[in-house]
A and B are shown apart, each in its own frame.
Chain A
Amino acid sequence: MKTTIKEQNDEIVVFFEGRLDTAVSPQTEKEIQPVLTADKDVVLNCENLEYISSSGLRIFLGILKEAKPRGHKVTIICTNQNLLKIFTVTGFTNLFEFRS
């Protein structure tokens, strides 16, 4: 699991690579701390994300919870059909902006 944070065009973009499962999520949660405090729109790039567990989803919700009251959008970029299914079933498609 690799997490990279980049700032692009007034947005803060988080690139997730690999498997965001229960084992790595505490580490990932630490790594995305700067995203929580950045006063910007957030893009969660999941193009190279293979799998997300409920712990991973919890991290996404945490980001949303910080950004929304400040009036910022959180967008998920996802091309993986399996992942998209998870996001759909869990209702994430209703909470986040989606881009492919």
Chain B
Amino acid sequence: MKKTDNPINKAWRKLQTRGGVLMLLTAAILMQVGSAVQYYFARNGIRNEVRQRAVSELQVKNLEIQKVVSRVETAVDNLHWALERSIVHPDSVYPILRRIIANNPDMTGCAIAFLPDYFPSKGYWYEPYVFRDGESLVDKQIGSAEHNYLEMSWFVDGLAAEGGLWTEPYIDSAGSEGMVCTYTIPLRDASGRIVAVFGSDVSLDWLGDLFEQKADVQTYLFSHAGRLMVCPDSSMVMRVTLEEAAKHYNDTMATQLKRAVLEGRQGSAEVKYGGEKSYIYYSPVGGNTGWSMSLLFPDKEIYKGLHRVSELLLLTMLLGLLLLAFIMWRTFRGIRKLGEVNAEKERIGSELKIARDIQQGMLPKTFPPYPDCDEVAIYGSLVPAKEVGGDLYDFQIQNGHLLFCLGDVSGKGVPASLMMAVTRSLFRTVCNRTSSPEEIMNQMNSAMSEMNENSIFVTLFVGNLDLKTGMLSYSNAAHCPPVLVNKTIATLQMDSNIPLGVMADWMYTRQEIHVGLDSTLFLYTDGLTEAENSSHGQFGEERMLAELEKLTTATPRNLIDHMSEVIQAFESGVEQSDDLTMLAIRYTKASQK
């Protein structure tokens, strides 16, 4: 069959394509929504985790710093009274300063700076100082015109303070070059007047170890004035303040933090840092020091894992969609093929139906066939097992003789039906030339043997009934013997002859029998005797003969109708396996012509 692309096919295909696209689209949207929801919740989860991590980090660091700060504050506050007693004599301060340093590893040195000319013997400036030099302690008076502590902020602020005060951190240019912070406390004389400021230097080098920088979180520590004490870029430590950073960088982080740090607030914010979205968490740390700490999480870094998972998910989804598309394509192709197969089946079916009609048309189908002829009554029936079959029968009256035949092509279906058509045509043709049954048989046989490539053979009974005398001459090509029904039932005697189409030069024999008036000749194919019931039992010859016994007086039509009913009842529900053909001829009156 030519695969036609008719409009219906096209439309169907278009519909399938549209359906497929819709399904794919739906699947894609569902997957997208699913992954969006997943993304949303995962993002929230990460966000919460970051928040908790920030809070706990801030707390931990605060405690660490607080520990050192408290130690120093406690030590100084506890010795406060001893210091105030020691300042009666200018040189009596050294031992107590030594003791303080020796007992407080956090401190690198400590000093007492007196008001100008407090001890006239010591001059205008007097600042006894004890500091560590390796394992030993060194005493030194450092107040001088060059080291004019009177103008230094720690002294000025310390003097003005009510109690302990932490100075801004600074770089110890005189000593270790490290970051140092000083805790000051004012000292009073017996009369309660503030006469000096005690200051203990605390090295802040340990801060560097305390704060580690990571890819996904940056840690900052700011002094009270907003100076950077810890930050990822070590070159900026102690050199840059938030004020300067806010001016210098176009980032919101410095601006946000500046305010928060100066006001000592705690909180979080979303900021721009280095052009990237980031989250900051900040909190004051270290108690009285006024320091603030800030953690910065770059958006890109904290969602890195999530983004990787999302990308993987997207890739998986794409693969899934591709797979789905492939499966759908296969399915649709399968459906289309099935449709084609069905169409093909339908076409063959309709062709077979036409073939069946043609074949049925080749059989005599008007009964009675000769309304004006009262010498014979004839009735025939052919029920193919499939749409078309290989059984045939035919008859014609010729010069007062009834020529008839009934046969069976070996095999079934289309090949048999073609052979059947050939056989029927041959019979008609040969009948016009001769009316002798054996001669009809010989001529048909030789024609059929010549063209028989597939060993398809035909069993055929040919009879010639002289309507005047009732003499029946017949020749039989291996067909099952007809039955003569009158008062008794008799099977016709049969010579052994081979089927038509086997051997071209076979000489068929002729036999004769006299048919009495009101006798019926019953011809059939093996579809009758070999009809099977559900338990594979065959109808058989005996059952047939027994039925015929009941039908000795029946008209051909009644006989065949009865037999058909009996067969149907016998087969009850089992599919008819072979073509079933019957022909009954009743000799009713001797012709006078």
Contact = CB atoms under 8 A, between A and B. Distances in A.
Interface of A: 21-23, 53-55, 57-58, 61-62, 65, 88-95
Contacts, number: 59
B496 A88 contact: yes
Contact of B455 (A65, A92, A93): A65
Interface stretch (B140-148, B214-222, B406-414, B516-524): B406-414
Contacts of B496: 88-89, 91, 93-94
Interface string B487-501: 000000010111100
Nearest to A21: B577
Interface in B538-580: 577-578
A11 B530 CA distance: 34
A62 B457 CA distance: 10
A54 B526 contact: yes
Contacts of B497: 91, 94
Contacts of B480: 89
B411 A91 contact: no
Nearest to A54: B410
Nearest to A22: B412
B245 interface: no
B410 A58 contact: yes
Given A91-B506, A95-B498, 6 more contacts: A22-B577, A62-B455, A89-B479, A89-B496, A90-B499, A92-B498
Interface in B357-376: none
Contacts of B455: 58, 61-62, 65
B498 A55 contact: no
A74 B47 CA distance: 95
Q: Which of A61, A88, A93 has the most CB of B within 10 A?
A: A61
Interface in B462-499: 477-481, 494, 496-499
A61 B478 contact: no
B502 interface: yes
B492 to A, nearest CB: 11
A45 B62 CA distance: 108
A91 B496 CA distance: 5
A92 B506 CA distance: 12
A92 B478 CA distance: 9
A58 B456 contact: yes
B410 A57 contact: yes
A86 to B, nearest CB: 9
A22 B498 contact: no
A58 B578 contact: no
Contact of A95 (B410, B502, B577): B502
B194 interface: no
B498 A54 contact: no
Contacts of B502: 61, 91, 95
B459 interface: yes
B120 to A, nearest CB: 137
A91 B412 contact: no
A23 B478 CA distance: 22
Given A89-B481, A94-B498, A95-B502, A61 B412 contact: no
A58 B477 CA distance: 14
Contacts of B306: none
B503 interface: yes
Contacts of A88: 496
A94 B526 CA distance: 21
Contacts of A22: 411-412, 577-578
A90 B408 contact: no
A31 B408 CA distance: 25
A22 B525 CA distance: 15
Given A88-B496, A91-B497, A93-B496, A55 B410 contact: yes
